[in-house]
Amino acid sequence: MTADGGQNRLDRIEAILLQTAQQQQTNTTALAQLTEQQQVNTTAIAQLTQQQQANTTAIAQLTEQQRQMQAAITQLTAKVDGLSEQLEASFADIAVTITRLGEEAHEDRQLIKGIQLENRRILEYLFGQQRGGGENGQAAS
């Protein structure tokens, strides 16, 4: 080997070593960035996990509230059904009572008409007695 050829070879080795050192520096910087990004991602995943747990808890609470509301609605529906049945029975009783009152009012009117007719007959008899002088010729007092 010539001195010039050896120098040339040394220059190439030096260039390769320099390029390798630069690539290693680039790789180290990239690894540092990847490590930093991984830490950011790990933090974000932890936050997402916490949020997911909070959401799961909130969903469980909402589900329980919905179950309680459904139970309350079921109870209220049962009460409304019971009240509706009571109202229906009351309306039926009222209808029967009104019918009975109408019948009794009709009977009372008939009775009053009978009493009025009897009173009229009594008055006519009494006025007839008064005009005619009574049975013995005396005015009724």
Span 103-120, pLDDT tens digits: 999 999 999 999 999 999
Confidence tier at 141 by pLDDT (50, 70, 90): very low
> What pLDDT sits at residue 137?
46
> What pLDDT sits at residue 132?
76
Q: What percent of the chain has pLDDT over 90?
A: 84
In sequence order, what DSSP letters do the residues of 67-135 get, joined into one string? HHHHHHHHHHHHHHHHHHHHHHHHHHHHHHHHHHHHHHHHHHHHHHHHHHHHHHHHHHHHHHHHHHT-S
Q: Whole-prediction pTM value?
A: 0.50
- The rounded distance, in Å, linking the Cα atoms of 3 and 9 is 10
> What pLDDT sits at residue 7?
86
The residue ranking higher by pLDDT, 129 or 72, is 72
